A and B are shown apart, each in its own frame.
Chain A
Amino acid sequence: MSKNEKKATRTISQIERGTVIDHLDPHVVFQVVRILGIDDQIEDTVTVGTNFHSNVLGKKGIIKIANRFLTQDAVDKLSVISPSATVSMIEDYEVKRKFKVKIPELIEAILKCPNPNCVTNTEEWPTRFRVAVRDPLLLFCTYCERYFGKHDIEIL
């Protein structure tokens, strides 16, 4: 991260404990806020920033959430929406663990199949997609056996 980028990133306050999601595609920042279930009822500090300068991405978004760590499901959802994202877990203002999200080979129960005649839409049954192509993302529904691009797919 360049000096300028660091400076920009710090314009949103540090957290003592919690999660920092960085390098988000700026077009999906508010979608990520939504899928993380962050709403007006939340008690802890949440900072959302978008369109910060990024050397790698041009522009990026950042979300900081105090006192919350992401579940594996949330990380998987994040990987589908913004494969460039990094996740840092913070304790005592220190980064305890940092990783880049990775789309799993099999994505289970977190996406909705866009095919209305797929059995996962007619029965109470979790979906399962296999990654056919990583970039641009192409997913294969293992039930109805159809392919879908990222923009066809809705996150549950």
Chain B
Amino acid sequence: MASFANRSIISMRDFTREEILHVLDVTRMMDERAEEFATALQSEILATLFFEPSTRTRLSFESAMLRLGGKVMGFADPGSSSTKKGESLADSIKIVESYADLIAMRHPVEGSARLAAEIADIPVLNAGDGANQHPSQTFLDLYTIWQEKGTLESLNVGFMGDLKYGRTVHSLAHALAKFGCNLNFVSPKGLEMPTDILEELARDGVSFREHLNFEDAKGNLDILYVTRIQRERFGGELDYDKVREGYNISKSFLEGCNPNLRILHPLPRVDELSEEVDNTPYAIYFRQAANGIPTRMALIALVMGVVS
């Protein structure tokens, strides 16, 4: 396995099964023994460059760095960066790498994180590049599933909601495919998984099925990953309301499910997931959100060489 030290975390495609499992092991270590690492990065600085706002992801990266004893600086709003003055991303990265030891970057343009990593001599953590990748989210999703199921091997996983624009769904599907999971995609017409992703899964020999409604898929699911369906993706109110009905997970909706089904959601949710589900054993989405911290601590610790 290649060393993680000084490596950038850009895309789930860059990681082998073995490397993914290693990240999960280190995440568990950060989860259970965080205090041992409380001064690990005392003289290091994380720059959080958020060219697109994402409060939760930014705070989560900052909290992870602070818990490792490090310092943070950055911007949360592109209006306050020199991009506004027309500076290229390449130039911004060259400048920032002389100020910090590590960069976490969110940018609306796809491939921007890869470009930043090629320019910078310090590690870059991709905190989302347009519709492309958001690997720290995928690692925390994988950690949550692994923690709950004790394995990632051969699980029956359902993805439900907006699968067309859902970046988290795309990279999680790719990652789970490496573990021989059976994938079930449930989405309204027009919001299906993009064809190029399905074709890629097919080329890789992944077992998957597409469904129009949850009833057809729910049988033996171990995991259900729900994403938000955004109103603006639909033409009129009527269409949206019609779709929303079939994609609202409530207690009654879950009758007949595998009792060991566990539901994840990248949050924030709107009404695709009723609050009445929160107190059932199915719901693990709040734990999933909390796992953002140990996951990002693990990624930072690995690329900074705190753990090998």
Q: Is the CB of B88 within 8 A of A147?
A: no
**In the complex, A142 has a CB within 8 A of chain B:** yes
Within the assembled complex, what's the spacing in Å between the Cα atoms of A117 and B115?
13
Stretch of B129-137, B152-160, B179-187 that contacts chain A: B129-137
Q: Is the CB of B109 within 8 A of A122?
A: yes
Q: Is the CB of A145 within 8 A of B109?
A: no
Q: Type the 1/0 row for A110-147, where 1 means its CB is closer than 8 Å to any CB of B.
A: 00000101111011110000001100000001111111
Q: Give how many A-B residue pairs fall within 8 Å (CB-CB).
A: 54
Q: Is the CB of A147 within 8 A of B109?
A: no
Which of A119, A132, A141 has the most CB atoms of chain B within a 10 A radius of its CB? Answer: A119
Q: Is the CB of B114 within 8 A of A123?
A: no
The verdict on A119 contacting B88 (CB below 8 Å), with A133-B203, A144-B130 known, is: no
Q: Is the CB of A119 within 8 A of B196?
A: no
Q: Is the CB of A117 within 8 A of B88?
A: no
Within the assembled complex, what's the spacing in Å between the Cα atoms of A143 and B109?
10
Interface size on B, residues (CB 8 A): 21
Residues of A with C-beta under 8 A to B288: none
Q: Type the 1/0 row for B173-203, where 1 means its CB is closer than 8 Å to any CB of A.
A: 0000000000000000000000010011001
Residues of B with C-beta under 8 A to A117: 108-110, 130-131
Q: Which residues 91-149 of B sit at the A interface, judged by CB distance below 8 A? A: 108-112, 114-115, 129-133
**In the complex, B73 has a CB within 8 A of chain A:** no
Q: Which residues 35-87 of A sit at the B interface, judged by CB distance below 8 A? A: none
The verdict on A141 contacting B111 (CB below 8 Å), with A117-B130, A123-B89 known, is: yes
Q: Is the CB of A143 within 8 A of B203?
A: no
- Chain B residues within 8 Å of A, Cβ to Cβ: 11, 13, 88-90, 108-112, 114-115, 129-133, 196, 199-200, 203
Taking A119-B114, A122-B112 as given, write out 17 further A-B residue pairs in contact, using a Cβ cutoff of 8 Å, ordered by the A residue number: A115-B110, A117-B131, A118-B110, A119-B110, A119-B112, A122-B89, A122-B109, A123-B115, A124-B88, A124-B90, A132-B200, A142-B114, A143-B110, A143-B114, A145-B111, A146-B196, A147-B200
List of 3 A-B pairs having minimum Cβ-Cβ separation, nearest first: A143-B111, A144-B110, A119-B111
